Structure 1
Amino acid sequence: MKTILIVEDELPISQVLKVYVQKANFKTEQVFNGNEVIEKFERTKPDLVLLDVMLPGKDGWTILKEIRQKSTCPVIMLTALGDVNYKLSGLNGGADDYISKPFIADEVVARIHAVLRRAQTDTSPLKCFGQLQIDTKSHRVTINDREIELTPRDLSVLLFLAENPNQTFSRDQLIEHVWGWEYDGSDRAVDLAIKRLRKQLQEWPESEGEIKTLRGLGYQFCVYKK
């Protein structure tokens, strides 16, 4: 039986979630104060966290960051803050889904099932594209077993593209997903990051894949051989 950690300071909402989640055959643990979440998380080792943003003590953003420093456990954010920028902040910060209040409890349960299914389909952190291997957990990138040194930003670009192979992303989309909405610099930074990545990945055989430029559309991490 999988365990769901419910982090919600409003008792009536927490209790409703508990009833519906248990009805769906999950075990539940509850926390009402942000300062107690990490201790409870480490002790109970949940399979998924329902995490409210506005909490006494540490807020949800801080807790999400601390969880991501030690675990890939799925996290669904719960908040009354429905603005799209808050949603993007949560997703870019490592949340797996985001539900705005007021919500329907049945929908929350459906989202839990969906996120857990996604987590189960790709449990290995190692992504192999021919001779190019990317460990999304340790952030180690190798070509033919030779480690490639990348800056944190360039690594973030590569990780995002590798998670979405054969999909095209514009400069604005890459800035949104990698740099974040608060970035106020030039989109030229994307071009420079791609240029540096291509140089670092030049030993990756073209027959296996490449980072391709689609004129007027953006960039694509093309994979020809896995």
Structure 2
Amino acid sequence: MYKVLIIEDEFHIRQIIKDYFSLKGIEVVEATQGYEALSMINETIDLILLDIMMPGIDGYEVCKQLRLTTKRPVIFMSALSQEENQLLAYQLGADDYIIKPFQLSLLHAKVIAMIKRDQKKEENILTVGHLQLDRINRILIIDQQKITLAHKEYELLEYLCMHVNQLLTRQQILDHIWGYDYYGDGRAVDTYIKKLRKKLGKYACYIQTVIKTGYMLKVVVSDEDNV
């Protein structure tokens, strides 16, 4: 079951959407103002429906704050139909904008399409600590910076990421990356590990050496993570 957070100060609008979505099998949680909503964001929320004109902080500020902590889809719902209102919403990180009044069936269709698209995107991103592997474009993303990897570098890092906290021997790595018919020795693995560590920069410590055996990918908490 999908879970949607509605941030809307008008009770009847929240109730109409909640009733309709419930019939469609979508769980709805409600917030009546921005500060309340920001405290409710967690990994169980699949999408956020956001009004603009609310008491306290408005929807624009809520969206700005949301984008500091979550990449979940945000759809603005507003009676403000001017182009500048919509442009500002998109500039602040909105994924869509629907003008009140609207058809519930249209809102529902947008919500379902956006959640499915977001979940599909997540399936294509392998995340380990501060590392993100884009498995479609075969690139590494660190702190929102894209880093190009050579073919073997990507294959090796993906293999490590898929076995977090597991010891992988040099022979296992050779067999998986280079193939069973490879006749070289483990120094090829060591060479590519060195290249990967260089590209990981301050997160090079994620790749840990197990002496005389192999390597392990392990998320190491740095001082920066505790700030």
TM-score (ref. length: structure 1): 0.57
TM-superposed deviation, 1:89: 1.6
Question: Could you say what secondary structure the match of 2:39 adopts?
Answer: helix
Task: Give 1:184-203 correspondences, 5 Å limit.
Answer: none
* Amino acid in the other structure paired with 1:102: P
1:45–1:120 distance in 2 versus 1, CA, 3 Å = closer
Q: CA 1:139–1:13 in 2, change beyond 3 Å: closer, same or farther?
A: same
2:40 alignment partner in structure 1: 40
Pairs within 5 Å for 1:1-226: 1-42=1-42, 45-123=44-122, 124=125, 126-127=133-134, 133=139, 135=141, 138-144=143-149
Post-superposition Cα deviations, 1:64-109, rounded to whole Å, max 9, x if no partner, equal 1111101111111111111122112212221111101111111111
Cα distance between partner residues in 2 of 1:66 and 1:45: 18
Check whether the contact 1:6–1:30 (CA below 8 A) recurs between aligned residues.
yes
Q: Structure 1's 83 and 142: CA in aligned 2 closer, same or farther, altered over 3 A?
A: same
- Mark the structure with the bigger radius of gyration: 2
Kept in 2: contact 1:53–1:79 (CA 8 A): yes
Confirm or deny: 8 A CA contact 1:47 1:73 kept in the other structure: yes
Counterpart contact for 2:50–2:74, Cα < 8 Å: yes
CA distance in 2, matches of 1:41, 1:102: 26
Preserved CA contact (<8 Å) 2:140 2:149: no
Instruction: Give the direction of change, closer, same or farther, for the CA distance of 1:127–1:16 in structure 2 (3 Å limit).
Output: same
Cα distance in 2 for partners of 1:129, 1:76 equals: 26
Task: In structure 2, give the amino acid aligned to 1:142.
Answer: I
DSSP-derived class of the 2:48 partner: strand
1:40 partner SS: coil
The amino acid of 2:146's aligned partner reads V
Identity fraction in percent: 31
Separation in 1, partners of 2:27, 2:68: 25
Give yes or no for contact 2:78–2:98 (8 Å, CA) kept in 1. Answer: yes
Q: Which moved more, 1:89-98 or 1:68-77?
A: 89-98
Contact 2:73-2:118 within 8 A present in 1 as well: yes
Deviation of 1:2 (Å):
1.6
1:147-166 deviation digits (Å, cap 9, x = unpaired): xxxxxxxxxxxxxxxxxxxx
Structure 1 unaligned regions, length at least 5:
146-226
Paired residues of 2:75 and 2:97 also in contact (CA < 8 A): yes
The 1:142–1:29 alpha-carbon spacing in structure 2 relative to 1, beyond 3 Å, is same
Q: Which has the higher contact order (CA 8 A, sep 6+)?
A: 1
**Are the counterparts in 2 of residues 97 and 115 from structure 1 also a CA contact under 8 Å?**
no
Label 1:126 to 1:83 Cα distance change in 2 as closer, same or farther (>3 A): farther
Check conservation: 1:34, 1:63, Cα contact below 8 A.
yes
Tell me which amino acid in the other structure corresponds to 1:5: L
- How many residues were matched structurally? 142
Question: Whole-Å Cα distance in 1 between the matches of residues 108 and 68 of structure 2?
Answer: 26
> Distance between the aligned counterparts of 1:105 and 1:130, measured in 2?
36
After superposition, the CA RMSD in angstroms is 2.2
SS of structure 1 residue aligned to 2:30: strand
- Deviation string 1:167-194 (CA, Å, 9 cap, x unpaired) is xxxxxxxxxxxxxxxxxxxxxxxxxxxx
CA deviations 1:94-140 (Å, max 9, x no partner) are: 11111011111111111101111211221126447878x352x7212
1:109 and 1:129, CA in 2 relative to 1: closer, same or farther beyond 3 A?
closer
**Secondary structure of the corresponding residue to residue 49 of structure 1:** strand
